[in-house]
Amino acid sequence: MKSYSFIQKQDQDVANAISGEEKRQAEGLELIPSENYVSQAVLQALGSPMTNKYSEGYPGKRYYGGQMYTDAVETIAQSRAKELFNCDFANVQPLSGAPANVALYFALLNPGDTVLGMDLSHGGHLTHGHPVTAVTKVFNFVRYKMKDAETGEIDYDKMLAVAKQEKPKIILAGFSAYSRELDYKKFVDIAKEVGAITVADMAHIAGLIAGKALRNPFDDGFDVITTTTHKTLRGPRGGMILTRENEEIAQRVDKTIFPGMQGGPHMNVIAAKAVAFGEALHPNFAVYASQILKNAKAMEEVFRKNNIRMLGGGTSNHLILADVFGSLGVSGADAEKVLDEVGITLNKNAIADDVRKPMDPSGIRFGTPAITTRGFTEKESTIVAEKMIETLTHKDDASVKARIKTEIEDLASRFPIPESFV
């Protein structure tokens, strides 16, 4: 356990909470697909004196003095991001993924303009136009869905028909709970037919793209990528907007982020992003990204053998969305709770056209980025999937859950969270 001597001396309540969370992460297994562990180098950057500095503007064009070193870390972060994703422009200031998406809408659209994105119930994200979000008061969102929830195939013919009818300014590829690869070329072809800008929200799979384990949308002609910098990219919690080659779009993005929507960037986070991007450029990151996919396939195989329905029929990326209510009679909320009790953390999640309520849906969503960071291979991933199903099928048996909890703690102890990735 790390030392938090200053916090312990000054604020024991907060120190206890931090120590408790550290213990929880070390002794349990993290399967939430959007979570991961960062290196000690990233943590040091987050806790560095960079947090003290206001740096409104961009490198070489700041509104305050004393920017020699802030300019340096932001320039490093930009340069490494462009190298990782093979693009010409990178804005590393967005505070997270949702603010990045919102900023992009305001950069590229006028009020009332239309965005075509994936339906939330079929795997999309709240910021892709769910009615509860504020952006739907400003812009018009229309949606595409899967043609077949059993295969995960997107209905591209219907997407084209909707695009021709609605004339979207942006066609958005991206997801929060979709387990297959998207056909980026079809998105680009549809966008060209209606004169739309192509945007890929790659928050979940940015690390898999950076590690060359999944295809880069820019290689198929996409205009813009928005992403988080945590999840599979294994950096600090933050966002980023990448532009392939269109300088006008990049300039509009920069002006919308600052001064349009944000004030001073969080320079400690940008320094941590620079560190994480450097880690992702290391050759072993590609090995890590590839292993994420292998581990997910290993878990898929266990669920298939046990006749657990998986949306999309399985996975081609880092996550699985399983219909545990339809397969086992256990709601997603109950599954999340009982698995938490044995030290396996994941999240309840709605499935396509779910008849249950969002806070007690039919499905669970889980993935392999964090356990892969700990060094898990297919062997350990298979064991975890088997323990998940055993827990769910014996959810009311305290003795079984106690045994599994001990087994999970033992497994976690054999794969401690690494301090360094390079």
- Which of 35, 56, 155, 183 does the annotation list as catalytic? 56
Tokens 């959007």 identify what position?
A: 34
Give the integer Cα–Cα distance in Å for 84 and 209.
8
Q: What's the order of all strands across the beta sheet hosting 347-349?
A: 319-323, 363-367, 347-349
Alpha-carbon distance of 369 to 235, in angstroms, equals: 12
Question: Is 58 part of the annotated catalytic residue set?
Answer: no
Which of 369, 349, 371 is closest to 360 using CA atoms?
349
Asked if residue 352 lies in contact with residue 180, where contact means CB atoms within 8 angstroms, the answer is: no
Task: Tell whether residue 31 is among the known ligand binding residues.
Answer: no
Q: Is 74 annotated as a binding residue?
A: no
Residue 172 main-chain phi, psi, to 5 deg: -110, 120
Determine which one of 143, 169, 180, 237 is catalytic: 237
> Which of the residues 169, 231, 309, 365 is marked catalytic?
231
Q: Distance from CA of residue 99 to its chain's centroid?
A: 14
Angle between helices 68-85 and 267-280 (to 10 degrees): 40
Using CA atoms, how far apart are residues 411 and 407, in angstroms rounded to an integer?
6
- Is 54 one of the annotated active-site residues of the chain? yes
Residue of 74, 201, 300, 336 marked catalytic: 201
Would strands 224-228 and 197-201 be described as parallel, antiparallel, or unpaired? parallel
Longest CA–CA separation in the chain, Å: 63
Give the Cα-Cα-Cα angle 227, 232, 237 (nearest 5 degrees). Answer: 60
**C-beta separation of 119 from 143 below 8 A:** yes
**Which one from 22, 35, 54, 297 is the annotated catalytic residue?**
54
124 marked among binding-site residues: yes
Instruction: State the CB neighbour count (10 A cutoff) for residue 38.
Output: 21
- Among residues 227, 228, 229, 256, the one annotated as catalytic is 228
Three-state SS string across 44-80, please?
HHHCCHHHHCCCCEECCEECCCCCHHHHHHHHHHHHH
Residue 357 token pair: 């309520």
- Determine whether 237 is an active site residue: yes
144 is catalytic: no
60 assigned binding-site residue? no
SS3 for 337?
helix
Q: Distance (Å, rounded) from C-alpha 152 to C-alpha 86?
A: 28
CA gap 106, 151 in Å, rounded: 35
CA atoms within 13 A on the CB side of 253: 26
Annotation marks residue 75 as catalytic: no
125 appears as a binding residue in the annotation: yes
Q: Is 119 helix (H, G, I), strand (E, B) or coil?
A: coil
Residue 201 annotated as catalytic: yes
Q: Which residues are catalytic?
A: 54, 56, 201, 228, 231, 237
Binding site feature residues: 120, 124-126, 247
Binding site feature residues for (6S)-5,6,7,8-tetrahydrofolate: 120, 124-126, 247
